[in-house]
Structure 1
Amino acid sequence: MPAARFALTSVLAACLALAATTVSAQASHLPVTPEQRRVADQVASAGVPLSELAANAPDSHTVVAGDTLWDISKLFLKSPWRWPELWGMNRDQVRNPHLIYPGQILVLVKTDGRARLQFGQRVGDGPGDVVKLKPQMRVSPLDANPIPVIPLHLIQAFLTDTAVFDTDALATAPRIVAAQEGHVLLGRNDLAYARGDFAGATDFRVFRTSRPLRDPTTNEILGYEAPYVGTADLIRPGEDRRTADGKTEIVPATLQIRDVKQEVGIGDRLAPAPQRDLERYVPHAPDKPLAGQIAALYGDALNAGQNQIVALNRGKRDGVERGHVFALWRDGDAKIDKTQERPQAIKLPDERHGILFVFEVYERVSYALIISVKEPVKPGDRFTQP
């Protein structure tokens, strides 16, 4: 039997879980594009060239809780986002590319200069025992949740705490106008009074004044990012009522503060809490040339590093999708060539130094996680296709 190299395939077929809840029941409806299927079918007929495998791919690996698809893929391929090839390496066994579970064994078999995937089952009880290839999916109890593409804890706070509006919608949103018992700042379970058009909603997020996100080159406003303060529930609507002397008396709506990230204050704005979808998105390169710049760093940092979030000056209108992978570039330094009789100014080549993974997309702006990076990232830095 040819040397069995472990794991991959459908592994990178996975889609990014944007929520920590179980989504396996929805997996059969996850998006697989015609282009991804075409690539998978093409590779399935021939396998992947050994030159595409990572130099130090391990001989064995069992998927465990805490694994991510990205990290597992890096063990076996030079380009972790190239999941269609991995899925296509054994389409007969890997019919659903979106589900890889802890407990599964994935075996990479190398023959005739190509690599193909097969599932395997370990024979024996120790880590050094033989991995036996099987002609079908293994049937045994598995963890209930597919493993995610990237660590979810790195983006969960963002998904909960951040809102981007295409227009400055918060300027006309309902606002907190008073607090119970003359309080200036409000905490959990306190009552707040607000005015505005609630549009039938009862569940709100509370925000401070939004700030514009601008394109680093054109200065165009791409959207408005609003700092998250907390959540509140509408418990009593407001009303305008007539007094005995015929005047109009304005009674604001009553809300109860449910949770706070920071204390809620007079003037804070309210926006209906969005319904977060449970869709999962696969890592993939854009199917056409796409480049842009870092518009802003999420939070208060002056520079960003690995596992931090950045805003990109490209969004849905530009063709950006959740799951897109981009390469980060560092501008070449300006230098003086002193090797000649007359010194001359030169510019060193730009250097690629990191990878971005897009997980949230708006009309003109999107947000990405820095998967890897060599140098600090700052607004204005470029990104391109990987």
Structure 2
Amino acid sequence: MDAPGFAGANPTGRVPLKPYRLSPIPLLLALSLGTGLAHATNFPVTNDQKATAERVAQAGVPLEALAPNAPDSYTVKSGDTLWAISTIFLKTPWRWPELWGMNRSQIANPHLIYPGQTLFLIKRDGRATLELAREAGGVADGKLSPRVRGSALADNPVAAIPQHLIEPFLNEAVVFDRDELATAPRIVAAPENRVLMTEGDLGYVRGVQQPMTEYRVFRTPVPLRDPSTGEILGYEARYLAKAELTRLGGQSGGKDDLEIPATIKIGKVRGEVGVGDRLSPVPPRSFSQYVPHAPDKPIEGRIISIYGDALTAGQNQIVALNRGTADGVERGHVLSLWRAGKRVIDRTAERPQDVQLPDEQHGVLFVFQTFSRVSYALIITVKEPVSPGDRFSQP
């Protein structure tokens, strides 16, 4: 049975592991307490966190939350994500922390589930949990238990969501609270009087005050306006390229003593760089894993724009939302997309009457980047094209 959802990067290699034995305990404890599957980095697990994990895992999810065709077992495959696997077992995959026995404070540990491992769906007392298989040949307390033979497992653990889809945007989709790039270093010229530059070209920059090795190049920011009120929520700067500072500027000396701009070399590009574009230092990269979860309180808003030049968006595309951390939006929030109900004419009455059909849910958003009043989200699933102004809410 193939997992629906997203295909991730293929494993880079395989590491032979000795056959292992796991009691059929919740996945969180099996993974966080050290089963030979964890990477070298160890994260502290407090007693309170263990107790919370045990309590959640023992409860599991109600049987009515399971998908109608949820299988009794599933073997993890390369390219799977926890989200994709959870769609096999659950009607609402963002509830997988309950099914897998996880809590959000423990997200650093429980992702270490590998291709080749077998998961079993256990149903007890009207609730369900997922458990890892035991070593081949294991019998506990005179009862047969789920078993799996030890084998070489892929070196890459299964991620929560398709990380490769959002990673390029973590440092490229940028919103400034104000037009901060107005005073940032700017490209003033290119060799041979050219106006546009691409990868490998040189550019000359004024305004470099703190010399950094690497910069991001942005086009002049555009205001992001709330679709409902027209208020400016922030300034989105379109990412163009990376650039390396190769030579600091200075003064020419002599009678005129003119300024000599700094020199940059354009790196990997997403769009042609031009005179007037602005530079911003490259921040530390973030490879955080995200726990999909529903907001703790009601949230409702509108889509501001589609990232890039598209007029509408579909699955795996990025959209900007008119809600941010100031409104309670968090990384990992799962939100529902709504299609506005159409206005139709009721011709069944004595005289035709206009009626408004109700809005219908038709997609799921996953928030991966947040700013004060704006957020970026990945469209996980959608039935119809998404447009600016479309509504979203908590699921």
Range class of TM-score, shorter chain: 0.7 to 0.9
SS in 1 for 2:132: strand
CA offset digits 1:20-54 (Å, max 9, x no partner): xxx955572699x97x985x544433443221111
Query: Does residue 45 of the first structure (1) align with residue 45 of the second (2)?
Result: no
Distance 1:53 1:95, change over 3 A: farther
Gaps of 5+ in 2: 1-23, 32-37, 138-143
Query: Does residue 107 of the first structure (1) align with residue 109 of the second (2)?
Result: no
Extract structure 1 runs of 4+ deviating beyond 4 A. Answer: 7-11, 23-27, 121-124, 137-141
Distance 1:203 1:347, change over 3 A: same
CA offset digits 1:309-348 (Å, max 9, x no partner): 1110011111111110001111111122222223222111
Select which of 81, 90, 96 maps to 1:83. 96
Select which of 43, 55, 72 maps to 1:28. 43
Distance 1:357 1:261, change over 3 A: same
Query: Does residue 214 of the first structure (1) align with residue 225 of the second (2)?
Result: yes
Aligned to 2:370: 361
Select which of 349, 372, 383 maps to 1:374. 383
Aligned to 2:200: 189
The Cα of 1:218 is off from its aligned counterpart by 1.1
CA offset digits 1:37-84 (Å, max 9, x no partner): 85x544433443221111111233211220011110000011111123
In 2, the alpha carbon distance for the partners of 1:70 and 1:116 equals 16
Query: Does residue 158 of the first structure (1) align with residue 169 of the second (2)?
Result: yes
Map 1:122-137 → 2, pairs under 5 A:
132-133=145-146
In 2, the alpha carbon distance for the partners of 1:173 and 1:161 equals 17
Contact 2:340 2:360 in 1 (8 A): yes
Contact 1:8 1:107 in 2 (8 A): no
Distance 1:182 1:222, change over 3 A: same
The amino acid across from 1:229 in the alignment is: L
Contact 2:81 2:159 in 1 (8 A): yes
Distance 1:114 1:161, change over 3 A: closer
Aligned to 2:360: 351
Aligned to 1:303: 312
**CA RMSD in angstroms, aligned pairs only:** 3.2
Aligned to 1:176: 187
In 2, the alpha carbon distance for the partners of 1:112 and 1:75 equals 21
Contact 2:306 2:312 in 1 (8 A): yes
Contact 2:65 2:90 in 1 (8 A): yes
Contact 1:110 1:116 in 2 (8 A): yes
Distance 1:211 1:219, change over 3 A: same
Select which of 213, 219, 244 maps to 1:202. 213
Gaps of 5+ in 1: 1-6, 15-22, 125-130
Map 1:233-272 → 2, pairs under 5 A:
233-243=244-254, 245=255, 247-272=256-281
Aligned to 1:276: 285
Query: Does residue 225 of the first structure (1) align with residue 231 of the second (2)?
Result: no
In 1, the alpha carbon distance for the partners of 2:56 and 2:284 equals 38
In 2, the alpha carbon distance for the partners of 1:88 and 1:158 equals 30
Identity %: 59
SS in 2 for 1:248: coil
The amino acid across from 1:295 in the alignment is: I
SS in 1 for 2:78: coil
